Amino acid sequence: MIRLHHCFTHFQKLGGVEGFLKQHRLRDPEFELDSETLAFFEPETALPEKVSGLGLTGTSSIWTARNRMRTWRKAQDVSVICYHNFWGSCFLHDLDGASRRIGLAHTHWPEERSTIRAQEGILDGILCVSDSLREVCLRELPSLDERRVRTL
């Protein structure tokens, strides 16, 4: 089994990415993935099994996020980490302890190009929910081999 950690801002809200994460909880074992979720803005307690929260708020600093990530990492065995919509990857990747990093692009957003460019040297691959997102990722990260940027 491969240890996979999904990272995103929230888990308990009913948005698109959160729904996607809940599907992963149900289906990942079929693909021999032992997955867990790290939700940056969820509380550190009272979460479902295999979900951790860093307890960040809108006023938390990057310093706070990094310290909480350091603490979280001490209790984890991370093999592969997936940063959904790339959130947190730029300032947390050096602390995550993963041997492989994946970005998952869920949607287009106004600052997507600069966010994608900032992934240079951080990610081993990107999964995209549409061909149009894949094209943006390929254009903004030309150093990433096109075989490592896929549409789901």
State pLDDT tens for residues 27-59.
888 989 899 999 999 998 878 888 899 999 999
User: Is the entire prediction scored with pTM above 0.85?
Assistant: yes
Q: How far apart are CA 131 and CA 38, in angstroms?
A: 27
Supply 9's token pair. Answer: 């801002």
Supply 116's token pair. Answer: 């994608």
- Euclidean distance between the first and the last CA atom of the chain, given in angstroms as a whole number: 21
Determine contact, residues 80/55, Cβ cutoff 8 Å.
no
Q: pLDDT in tens for each of the 152 residues of the chain?
A: 889 999 999 887 757 777 777 787 788 889 898 999 999 999 988 788 888 999 999 999 999 999 999 999 888 888 999 999 999 999 999 999 999 999 999 999 988 999 999 999 999 999 999 999 999 999 999 999 999 999 99
Supply 85's token pair. Answer: 């919509």
Q: What are the residues facing 149 on neighbouring strands?
A: 126
The pLDDT of residue 14 is 56
The pLDDT of residue 40 is 95
Supply 69's token pair. Answer: 């990530």
Determine contact, residues 3/78, Cβ cutoff 8 Å.
yes
Pick the closest to residue 95 from 70, 119, 74 (CA basis).
70
